[in-house]
Structure 1
Amino acid sequence: MNPYIKKYIPIADFLGEVLGQNTEIIIHDMTNYDHSIVHIINAHISNRKIGDPITDLVLDFIATESKGNKQFICNYNSKTIEGRLLYSSTFFIRNDKNEIVGALCLNSDYHDVKKSLSFITSLLPNYVDDKILSLNNIKENLNTNPQEITLNKIDAIIQQFDVVPQRMNTKEKTEIIQALNDCGIFNIRGAVQEVADKLQMSEPSVYRYIKKIKKV
């Protein structure tokens, strides 16, 4: 195991003891996006396991923040594949070159707390909690299916353009493939085929675009 990742395992175990059964603790190793989870505590929270893939939020961070010095993001909403809302934070593990090599993630399930809070607030009609979890503010989907992660990311980037794939010109396709490449989507197995299908291109054409981008 990557030594930068390995030293965080005792920290994860420590947090597991401190935070209890309502918080899932996961360590990701970024050398393999398809099977990035290398350590997990309280897996019942999201029903993921060792060997499951990276999440969409980590892909976004790699694209937008990986060259900076930001070390963590805290207190955002995430969602399990079953639709359960969680309260999450992520610490990004970097090597001596300041490159992201892993992540330590905390996902807390406050479902039972919310039910208790709902009962209490029913007795306090003027009370409003501005931090209640909401489906309208999901930043991360804790999915175990690499194909779905890939498709969601491709769709999100395509939606930024006001033209359907069959009418996209070379410049627009280049920009989309550039954005996908920047967030590491092509490190996920099968991503080239999915991109080719979405953009109505052949796989060899997508590879040519990627090759051209990497030469720039």
Structure 2
Amino acid sequence: MDSREAERDAVLRALAPVVDGIAATFGPVCEVVLHDYRQPERSVVAVAGSVTGRTVGGAMSEIGMRVLASGDDARDELNYLTRTGTGKLVKSSTMVLRDSTGAVFGALCVNVDVTEVDRVRGLLAALAGTAGGPEQAPVTTFGDDIDSVVDALLDDHLRRQDQTWAGLDRTRRLALFRGLDARGVFAVRRAVEQVAGRLGISRASAYHYLSQARATAPGGTRTHDTSEGAHP
């Protein structure tokens, strides 16, 4: 093991008790998750609390994929709202972990279930005559299975296109692959094969679309490659 990997391991070990401390401070509405992005399919190395149902050895969420796709340009995302698939309203913060060279290798995530707080807020607003529309927080897929996260992202892209893969022209097919790439899907090992299977196309075709999508990205840029999942 080189010195940089040893340093990263030491940081994760040092943060493990912090995970428990933060969760204990905020009580049962709080969940704290420590991620090691060197292993995206099982990135959860410590967890305390149960808001999203994560367990040690579980996969990163689509939020983690987005951070992973940003590579060393990733920034902390603080106090954002999402909804789980079961309808919980969750306030979250994702703080990236860097080694001494500035390279991103993980994240510390805090999730607070504010569902009941939001209901009380709505009740008070209704009583005061100032009620507005419900909070439009995006639904985020959380789960220990990376395949379910990839599937959810693919389904979301197809749903927004309001088409099946067969109904998309070449431009929209490239846009779909470009969108998935921007959200970090192809940083996950075997994701290209999984997407190909879901779309009913060959592995070679999927790699071709991904290559073309990256080559035609605005400004000629491409997403950050972080794992063997981005290569044949």
TM superposition score category, shorter chain reference: 0.7 to 0.9
2:87 counterpart residue number: 83
Percent identity, aligned pairs only, is: 20
Q: Structure 2 CA distance, aligned partners of 1:87 and 1:153?
A: 21
Secondary structure of 2:45's counterpart equals strand
Q: Structure 2 CA distance, aligned partners of 1:93 and 1:50?
A: 18
1:195: how far off? 1.5
Letter in 2 for 1:205: S
1:154: how far off? 2.1
Q: Return the structure number with greater helix share.
A: 2
1:10: how far off? 2.9
1:145 counterpart residue number: 145
1:53: how far off? 1.0
Which TM-score applies when normalising by structure 2? 0.70
1:37 to 36, 44, 61: 44
Q: Structure 2 CA distance, aligned partners of 1:76 and 1:139?
A: 12
1:32-181 matches, within 5 Å, as 32-42=39-49, 44-63=50-69, 65-68=70-73, 70=75, 72-117=76-121, 121=124, 125-126=127-128, 128=130, 134=135, 136-138=136-138, 140-158=140-158, 165-166=165-166, 168=168, 173-181=173-181
Which string of whole-angstrom CA distances, capped at 9 and with x for unpartnered residues, describes residues 156-205 of structure 1? Answer: 44566687532556665455434434543234355223321344420233
Letter in 1 for 2:115: H
Considering only aligned residues, what root-mean-square deviation do their CA atoms show, in Å? Answer: 3.5
Letter in 1 for 2:150: T
Is the CA contact (8 Å cut-off) linking 1:166 and 1:200 kept in structure 2?
Answer: no
Letter in 2 for 1:92: V
Is the CA contact (8 Å cut-off) linking 2:174 and 2:212 kept in structure 1?
Answer: no
1:113: how far off? 3.7
Q: Return the structure number with greater strand share.
A: 1
Is the CA contact (8 Å cut-off) linking 2:41 and 2:145 kept in structure 1?
Answer: no
Secondary structure of 1:25's counterpart equals strand
Q: Structure 2 CA distance, aligned partners of 1:113 and 1:182?
A: 33
Q: Structure 2 CA distance, aligned partners of 1:11 and 1:58?
A: 20
Secondary structure of 1:52's counterpart equals coil
Unaligned runs of 5+ in 2: 1-7, 216-221, 223-232
Letter in 2 for 1:104: L
Report how many residues are paired: 209
Unaligned runs of 5+ in 1: none
